[in-house]
Structure 1
Amino acid sequence: MIDPVWKTPFWPEGVAHMCTDYKFPLFKFLDDSAREHPDKPFTLFNGASKNFAQVKDTADRIGAFLAGKGIKKGDKIAIFLPNLPQFPEILFGILKAGAVAVSCNPIYTASELHLQLKDSQSKMVFCMDHPVFYPNTVKAVEGTDVDTVIVCNIKSYLPKFKAFLGGLLGKIPRAGKIAPGHLMFDDIIASSKPIPPSISIDPEKDTAIMLYTGGTTGVPKGAELSHTNFTYDVMAILEYARFVHGDGKKPERLYQKGFHSFLGVLPWYHCFGITVALLLSVKLSAKLICIPDPRAGKPPFTEVLKAVQKYRPTFMPAVPTIFVAFTNHALINQYDLSSLMGCFSGGAPLPPEVCKQFEDKTGSIIFEGYGLTETAPVVSANPTFKQNRKIGSIGFPLPGTDIKILDIEDPSNLMPRGEDGEVAICGPQVMKGYWKNPEANAESFVHIDGNRYFLTGDIGHIDSEGYVAITDRKKDMIIVSGFNVYPRDVEDILYNHPKVELAAVVGIPDEKSGEKVKAFIKLKQDETATQEEINAFCKQHMAGYKRPKIIEFRDELPISNVGKVLRRILRDEELKNFG
C-alpha cells in the first residue's frame, strides 16, 4: 500500500489524500446522469443538443446492435471520428456491449489507420461520412479483421433548418457512394432496440479503451486501460479540484446537476480529451461542446471563440498551443470569454507568460498538470487556485497516486529530494499493460516495496516544498502542439521512400507549436531529390502534425559504433542555433 499522505504543507485545503468509491463500469457515469438528470442537455453541436436520456438511449441501441452482430466481451471496436456528438454515444455503446473501444486519430492516413486496426484486431470501425475520412477507412480495413464499417453523417445531429439548408446547398460533408455492405449509423440506431446485453464487467481487470502510444520507445503500442483506470482518474480529479463559484466564495468542489459546461477542443481520440472533457462532463451531468476542428475560421480558431461566446463554457482542458492561439488571436477582444472559470493545461510545458496573458484576457485560471496515455492520463496537477499554484511545476500527485524519482541508470534506487531522475508512477490510473507486448511491459514497470510503478521516461524532481517538476525527456519524443511525435515512427515512413538511405528526425523549438519536426536525410548513391518531393511523400503517408517542417539533405549522418544514427548529436547541433 502506498503512503496516502504527500509530504507538503501546501496540499490543497479540504482535499482528501485518498480516493475511494471508483470501482465500477465506466458507463455508470452515463447511466447515473441519464437517470438523475434525463432532460439536462449533454452534447451541443452546431446549434443543436441532445440530453442525457437521448444519449443513453442511443448508446443502449449501439450496445444491442453490437451484441446482435456477434460482438463478444473483449472484442475490439474502432472509433475513427473527430469530436462529433456521435462519439460519446458510440464509446458508451461499445462499453455496454462489453467490448473494447480502440480510439483512432481521425487525421491518420489510410496506412497509419491500417496498422492500428490490424494490430488491435478490431472487428468493426465507426467512421465519418466525409470525402477524406471514409475513403481512408475503406483502404485501411483491407487485410484486417474488420468485417463491418458503420458510417456516421452529421445531418441528423443538426437543427432541422440547418440540416435542410446544408443538404440543399451541399455544405454537409458526404463521402459520396458508400460501398456495398457498409452500414449507416442512423439506420442501425433506428432498427435497434435500447436494450443492451447483460454483461458482467470486472472494472479492475476488463479493458475499456485501448489507446495507441509510442510509450518510452517510439514503437506504437496499444495501452490497455481498464474501466477503473478511467473511473479513478475522474473521481480523483473531482476530489482534487477546488474552484470559486462566485465572488466572495471559498474554493469548493465542482457543482454538479448541469451547472458546468466543457469546451471540447481537445480531440477525444486522445486520452487527455476523453478523460478531462468527455468523461468529466458526463460525471458532472455537464454540457459538452463538440468542436470537430478547433482551427476552423478566418483567422484560424475564430470558430472556437464564437463557440465560447455562444455556449458559455466554464472549463476548457487544452494544450499550451491552444492558449497561445487564444491570446494571439487578432479578434480576441471582440468576444466575451468571461464564462471560463478554469482551464487544465497539459501535453507540453506551459510558458509562464502565456499563462499570464490568457488569465489577464479571460479572468480564468490555468492549472497545469501531467500525465501519459498509459495513466488514463492525469497523474498530478497544480492546486486549482492561485494561492498554492506554482507555475512551472506539475503540482502534486492526485489523491491515491504516488510519484517517485528513480535513478536513471538503476531504477531500484530512489533519488534524494531536489535531484533529477526518472519519474515513476503508482496508482489506480496506471494501465494494465501494453497489448500483446510482454517485452515492453517488462521494460516499463518496476516494483518498489511491493507496489508496481510505471517508468514514464520523463526526467524530473520533487522540490523542497513537495512540488513535482519535469525537467527533461529521457525519450526522443517530440511534442507538436500537444501531439506526441515519435522519431522512429516518422523515420520508418521516410525509409519507405525509394531514394532515402538514412533518415533521422529530431524536434526543434517553435514559437507556435512548441516544437516542430526536422528530418535529416542521406540519399542513396547517385540519387537526387528535392524538399518538395519528400514533402509530397510525407503528405501522402503521415498525419500533418508528424510531417517534417524542415528537411535537410546531408552527405553523411552521425553513426554510432554499432551503426545507429545518433539523433542526439543532430539535436544538440540544432539547439545550439537557438542558444
Structure 2
Amino acid sequence: MNQIDITGVRTSDDIGLLDTSSITEQKLPNSLYRAIKESAQYCPNQIAIKYILDGDVISQDKIPFAKKVLHKAIKLLKGQEYAAPYREVTYSQLANKVTQTANALRKLGINRKDVTSIIMPNFPETYYTLWGASTAGIANPINPLLDASIIKEIMLSSNTKVLIALGPLPGSDIWQKVLAIKDEIPNLKAVISVFGKSIPADKQNKVPVLSFSDLLKQEQAEELEFEEPNQRDICAYFHTGGTTGLPKLAQHTHLNQLTNAGQVNLISPVSPGDTIFVGLPIFHVNAAVATGIGPIMNTSTILLAGPAGYRGKNVMANLLTLIKNYKVSLIMAVPTVYAGILTELEKRNEENFSLPDLKLAISGAAPLSSELQNKFIRETGINLIEGYGSTESSSVCSLMPVRSINEEASVGLIIPGMKVATVEIGSDDQLIKQCGVGEVGEIVIAGNNVFPGYLDEAHNKNLWVTLEDNISYVRTGDLGRFDKHGYLSLAGRKKELIIRGGHNIDPKMIEDTAMKHPEVQLAAAVPRPDTYSGELPVLYVTKTPNSTITSEELMVFMQKQTPERAATPKLVNIIEEMPLTAVGKIYKPELVCAQITSVVTQEVAKILDKEDFKVLVTIDKKLGIKTIIELSDEKQEETERQVKQQLVGYAFKYQLHFMSTTTQAV
C-alpha cells in the first residue's frame, strides 16, 4: 500500500515516486472475471454491493414500512426483487452471479467476439450482466434514455447477438423500446428480460424472450464452463456519440479497464472495506470502471443509489444523510450534484453538520467552476477535487491533488502509468511539434488504459500520432497546457461534443435534424454555459430565401424531431449569415463566443446597469476563449464580489477589468 495518495501528492514528481508495479500487465489479473474471483476468494462474505431503491432508504435500519409491504407483496405475487428497498450482495454472491450469467450467455451462442447489448438502469443485476457479458464475449452497455431508433443503430453497429434489458416494470419505458426494435436486429438470437417472464418465439414474436432469473437457475455458479478471456481480449463497446454515419463505439480490452481501475486505486485514499457512493449510470465508464470494477479490485463496498442514481426519488434531497448513515468514504459526481448538495445544506441550516467518513469528493464528466469548488469546500469542509478523463482512456486521466500548488484553473496531475502530452497538429492532421510548458496544444494520451480504437475504422482516421518516444498516442480533441509542476489545464475543445450534465451530445445529430426542415439552409449547434448542466445545446440556423419560418416554429419542429431528448436545443437562433472560415466551413468558435457573451450579459445585468459594464469574448491562440468583463471603477471591491457571486456555477474563465486594476477570476 502506498504511503501517499491524491490527498498528499503535490507535483508530477510526487506521482513519479509511487510504486506502479501493481498496475503492470504481469501483476494485474488476467481478466475482469479473474479480478472478481480473486476478491471473492480473499473476502467471500464481505459486502461488495449495497443497493437502495431510492433516497427514502436513508439507512438499512430505517426502511419505510410502505416499501417493505410493497416489496413483500411483489415478491409473493411475482417472485421478483425489483421493489426491494434494500439489498446486500457479498463478494461470493457477486462472483457466482457473474459466473452464472457468463455461462448462460455462452450457451446462448455468445463466444469471445460476440456482443451482448445491455439496456438497464442501475441494479445489482446491471453489474452481473455487464461483467458476465464481458466474460463470455463483449458487453455493450447502452443508455436507456436514448430514443429507440438510436438504440437500434447502436445494436446494428455492434452486431448484437443477445440483448439484456429491464423487463416491463412500472415507470420504465425500456421494455416498450425493446419490443419496438428487437425483431429488426438481424442477428439477434435472444432477449433476456431482467425481472420479466419468458416469451417463446412464434410468428408474431420472432426473437424469444428469456427470463433472467430462470436462466440463471439453470447454471452452475462455481466455475466457468469455457476458457477465461485474457487481458488483450475486447471486453466492451461503449457508445460515445457518433459523428457521421455509424454510431461511434469505443472498444475496451480487459487490460484497459483493469489498468485504469488499478491506476485510480493506486492514488485513492479509499481503503479495502470502505464504501463508495455510485449514483452515475453504469452504462457510463465512470460507474463501470473507476467506481465499478475499481472498488471490486480494492475489496471496497459499492453503495448503488437506486435505478436512476442521482436522478432518483429523494436521492439528492437526502444525499447528505445517505452519505453519513452509510459511512461513505468517496463520492464521484458531476458538478450539478455538488451544487445540489449546497442547496440542501442551506435548507437544513444545521450548525456543525459533518460527514466524518467522507475522505474525498471528485467531480468529473463536466467542467467544475472554481467558485462552486471553493464554496463547497468552505461550506462542507470536504475536499472536492476535479478530474479529467474520457471513454477512450477507460475513465480517468488526471486528478487534482487536495494540496495542489497549481497557479491557474486545472484538472490536476496525470495519474500514474499514463503518458499525456500536448501537441500542435497541422490542418493536414500531421504532427508539427510537441508543445512546451505553458503552450496550448491538443491533448494526446497513451498507456495500457487507453483504448485500441473505435469499432468502425472510419472513426479511426487520423486518431493516432507518434511522438519522439516512438509511442503512438490517441488524439483526444481537447486542448490544454501543462505548467512547470505537471498540472494540466484545459483550454477548450477541438472536437465539438456538447457535454450536458456529463452526457455527451453530438452536435451533428442536432444539425442533421434541423436540416430536415425545408426552410433551413445552414445549421450549427453549439454549447451554451449553464450552472446546472454545465452546457446546454443551442441551435443557430440561416433560412432559405423567402422563408417565413420563426424561431418558435423551428423549436417546435426540433422538439418533435430530435431523436435524443438531451440533444433537443434549448434555444433556436435565426441569423442572417453564418460565420464561415476562409475555406467555407462554419466557424463555430464565433457562435460559442456569442453564447458566453449572452450568458454573462444576462447575469451581470441582474446586478448592474447595462451602461456600467461591457462584455468582450474573443478567441486567444494561447488561452483559447477569453472572456473579459469591463466594469466602471466605482465601488470596486463590492462590484467584484457581486459579479463573482452572480457567476458562481459557470465553468468558463473570465477576467474583471477596472479602470485602474485587473482581477483574475478562475
Deviation at 1:570, TM superposition (A): 2.3
Q: For each residue in 1:220-279, what CA deviation from the matched residue of structure 2 results, as whole angstroms up to 9, or x when unmatched? A: 4111110000111111122223x3xxxxxxxxxx421xx211111111111122112111
* Segment drifting more, 314-323 vs 489-498: 489-498
Q: For each residue in 1:75-110, what CA deviation from the matched residue of structure 2 results, as whole angstroms up to 9, or x when unmatched? A: 01111112111111111211221x111111111010
The separation in 2 between residues aligned to 1:108 and 1:118, in whole angstroms, is 15
Alpha carbons of structure 1 residues 498 and 223: separation in structure 2 relative to 1, 3 Å: same
Deviation at 1:307, TM superposition (A): 3.0
Matched, 1:286 2:300: yes
The separation in 2 between residues aligned to 1:497 and 1:192, in whole angstroms, is 53
**1:341 is matched with which residue: 355, 359, 366?**
359
SS class of match (1:538): helix
SS class of match (1:83): coil
**2:195 is matched with which residue: 125, 131, 153?**
153
Matched, 1:399 2:399: no
Tell me the TM-score normalized by structure 1. Answer: 0.84
Contact 1:122 1:146 in 2 (8 A): yes
Partner residue in 1 for 2:14: 11
The separation in 2 between residues aligned to 1:391 and 1:86, in whole angstroms, is 43
**1:193 is matched with which residue: 197, 211, 220?**
220
Deviation at 1:495, TM superposition (A): 3.1
Q: For each residue in 1:119-173, what CA deviation from the matched residue of structure 2 results, as whole angstroms up to 9, or x when unmatched? A: 1111111111244111112223343232321122399xxxxxxxxxxxxxxxxxx
Contact 2:139 2:236 in 1 (8 A): yes
SS class of match (1:413): strand
Alpha carbons of structure 1 residues 16 and 332: separation in structure 2 relative to 1, 3 Å: farther
Matched, 1:134 2:175: yes
Partner residue in 1 for 2:149: 111
The separation in 2 between residues aligned to 1:217 and 1:418, in whole angstroms, is 34
Deviation at 1:536, TM superposition (A): 6.5
Deviation at 1:494, TM superposition (A): 3.2
Alpha carbons of structure 1 residues 180 and 22: separation in structure 2 relative to 1, 3 Å: closer
Partner residue in 2 for 1:249: none
Contact 1:341 1:363 in 2 (8 A): no
Alignment of 1:531-550 (within 5 A): 531=552, 534-535=555-556, 537-538=558-559, 541-550=562-571
The amino acid that maps onto 2:149 is S
* Segment drifting more, 455-464 vs 534-543: 534-543
Deviation at 1:73, TM superposition (A): 1.0
Overall identity of the aligned pairs, in %: 25
Alpha carbons of structure 1 residues 497 and 85: separation in structure 2 relative to 1, 3 Å: farther
SS class of match (2:238): strand
The separation in 1 between residues aligned to 2:474 and 2:383, in whole angstroms, is 30
Alignment of 1:481-560 (within 5 A): 481-497=501-517, 500-522=520-542, 526=547, 528=549, 531=552, 534-535=555-556, 537-538=558-559, 541-554=562-575, 556-559=577-580
Alpha carbons of structure 1 residues 123 and 289: separation in structure 2 relative to 1, 3 Å: same
Deviation at 1:218, TM superposition (A): 10
**2:117 is matched with which residue: 78, 87, 91?**
78
The amino acid that maps onto 1:147 is K
Alignment of 1:99-498 (within 5 A): 99-129=137-167, 130=169, 131-144=172-185, 145-153=187-195, 181-194=208-221, 195-203=223-231, 205-214=232-241, 220-241=247-268, 243=269, 254-256=270-272, 259-291=273-305, 292-293=307-308, 294-297=310-313, 301-329=316-344, 331=347, 333=349, 337-383=355-401, 385-386=402-403, 392-409=409-426, 410-437=430-457, 439-448=458-467, 449-497=469-517
The amino acid that maps onto 2:367 is P
Alpha carbons of structure 1 residues 557 and 218: separation in structure 2 relative to 1, 3 Å: farther
Alpha carbons of structure 1 residues 537 and 404: separation in structure 2 relative to 1, 3 Å: closer
Which structure has the greater CA radius of gyration?
2
**2:135 is matched with which residue: 96, 99, 103?**
96
The separation in 2 between residues aligned to 1:374 and 1:364, in whole angstroms, is 30
Partner residue in 1 for 2:39: 33
Contact 2:513 2:558 in 1 (8 A): no
Structure 1 runs not aligned, ≥5 long: 1-5, 156-177, 244-253
Partner residue in 2 for 1:51: 90
The amino acid that maps onto 2:146 is Y
Structure 2 runs not aligned, ≥5 long: 1-8, 53-85, 198-204, 601-614, 616-666
Contact 1:10 1:388 in 2 (8 A): no
SS class of match (1:123): strand
Alpha carbons of structure 1 residues 497 and 308: separation in structure 2 relative to 1, 3 Å: farther
* Segment drifting more, 490-499 vs 449-458: 490-499
Alpha carbons of structure 1 residues 307 and 531: separation in structure 2 relative to 1, 3 Å: farther
Contact 2:183 2:207 in 1 (8 A): no
Alpha carbons of structure 1 residues 41 and 78: separation in structure 2 relative to 1, 3 Å: same
Tell me the TM-score normalized by structure 2. Answer: 0.74
Partner residue in 2 for 1:162: none
* Segment drifting more, 553-562 vs 135-144: 553-562
Contact 2:497 2:505 in 1 (8 A): yes
* Segment drifting more, 551-560 vs 511-520: 551-560
Matched, 1:65 2:80: no
Alpha carbons of structure 1 residues 9 and 135: separation in structure 2 relative to 1, 3 Å: closer
Partner residue in 1 for 2:646: none
